[in-house]
Amino acid sequence: MKGYESLHSFYSPLRISTRPISRRRCFQGPRHTRPFSSSTRAAIAAPEIQFDGDASGRASLLQRARIVPASPSYFTAKPEFTDSLLNLQALLRKYEALPVLAPGHAPRVAWKTHAQFMLTSTEPVRVARYSRILKVLHRLNYIHPSLMPEEVAEAMQVYKRDVNPYDKVKQPVIIDQSGRARGLGRRKTSSAVAWVVEGDGEVMVNGKSLSQAFGRIHDRESAIWPLKVTDRVDRYNIWALVKGGGTTGQAEAMTLAVANGLMVHEPDLKPTLRRAGCVTRDARMVERKKHGKLKARKMPAWVKR
């Protein structure tokens, strides 16, 4: 690990000058000679290399030259990663002076997770290493969007997930032309859609009255619970469609649906409704049956033989 570090630091720009010149030349030489066939740069560059050997009878350059890596990061064992990090750090250094957003106000970006990054990378990179890239990316993301340089945006794009979940903005529910607000609710395997409209307390569930739809009074109370806790039973009418599950599930699905519709009319009621348990979906579902058991947990009775 230590050797790895030293190798890496050896090629870092800061320490590069402290190394012996001979080593430096060894790596930089081929860079200069990369445009082998370029003739346009003849004025500023060294003369073209004659591969077939020159007049002095020396062997050709191809035969003489060592094959050298394209990047000085080659000897870090993770050249791709190192180049990427150095590239980002260079960008950051270049644009460090640009104005940034206030802390906590950077646009939310879903960066690639380590696993996703590994799919695109050909090298094994540890999580800690990747987090160094992320650290630079977070800083770059703070550059004010109106001044965001093109190259930074392009560089960051590589590390963003294909789909940014934070781009998905929840559509605000609105009251339609007829004054109806639609709310959706679920509980166990039931789902309910309720249209809440200003009215005088009439409720229709699947085309039936509340008493016909729910035989139990407790279920009826569940269905209109959001109206009851906010003291608005006689101010709204509800027209609901409920399906799936049993009666209790349907009634409690309606609780959420009605609360969602009601919050469209009166968003200020949300804290009250939350305290009354009308906002959060109850995530509990039936526990699956397991083999060797009679039900989810019930053990069979012991039989002597």
Partner 1 sequence: MPPSRGILAVATRSSTGLPKSQWDVLPFRPAQPASFSTTACLAASGPPRKGKKAIRNLKAARQSAGRPPAPGERKALRKRVVLSNTNALEVSGLEDLDAKAIGKESSRCQMFGLPGPVVDSLRAVEAFKPTQGWRMFRSASVLWREQSIRLAQIMTDLAKLKSPETRRMVLAGEKGTGKSVMLLQAMAIAFMKKWIVINIPDAKDLTNAHTEYAPVPGTSPQQYIQRSYVANFLAQIAKANAGVLSQLQLSMQHDLSIPVQSNISLDRFADLGAKDLDLAWPIFLSLWAELTGPGRPPILFTLDNLNFIMRHSEYLGRDLKPVHAHDLSLVRHFVDHLSGARTLPNGGLVMAATTGSNKPSSPILDLAIRQSEARIQGLTGEAVPQWDPYRPGDERSLQSMADLEVFDIKGLSRDEARGILEYYAASGMLRQAVDQRLVAEKWTISGGGIIGELERGALRMRP
Task: Give me the residues that bind partner 1 (CB under 8 A), please.
Answer: 201-203, 209-212, 217, 220-221, 224, 227-228, 231, 233-234, 291-294, 299-304
The nearer residue to partner 1, 156 or 251, going by C-beta atoms, is 251
Q: How far is the CB of 216 from partner 1 (least distance, A)?
A: 9
The nearer residue to partner 1, 192 or 210, going by C-beta atoms, is 210
Strand, coil or helix: what is 236? strand
Helices 127-141 and 79-94 sit at what angle, rounded to 10 degrees?
20
Going by C-alpha positions, the residue among 128, 137, 135 that lies closest to residue 157 is 137
Sequence letter at residue 256: L
Going by C-alpha positions, the residue among 239, 181, 183, 236 that lies closest to residue 206 is 239
Q: How far is the CB of 109 from partner 1 (least distance, A)?
A: 48
Sequence letter at residue 221: E
Q: How far is the CB of 122 from partner 1 (least distance, A)?
A: 45
Strand order in the sheet with 180-187: 180-187, 190-198, 236-243, 203-205, 208-209
The nearer residue to partner 1, 99 or 292, going by C-beta atoms, is 292
Strand, coil or helix: what is 206? coil
The nearer residue to partner 1, 1 or 301, going by C-beta atoms, is 301
Sign (positive or negative) of CA dihedral 10, 14, 18, 20: positive
Q: How far is the CB of 295 from partner 1 (least distance, A)?
A: 10
The tokens describing 243, both together, are 């399906």
The nearer residue to partner 1, 31 or 289, going by C-beta atoms, is 289
Q: How far is the CB of 301 from partner 1 (least distance, A)?
A: 6
Q: How far is the CB of 227 from partner 1 (least distance, A)?
A: 8
The nearer residue to partner 1, 150 or 302, going by C-beta atoms, is 302
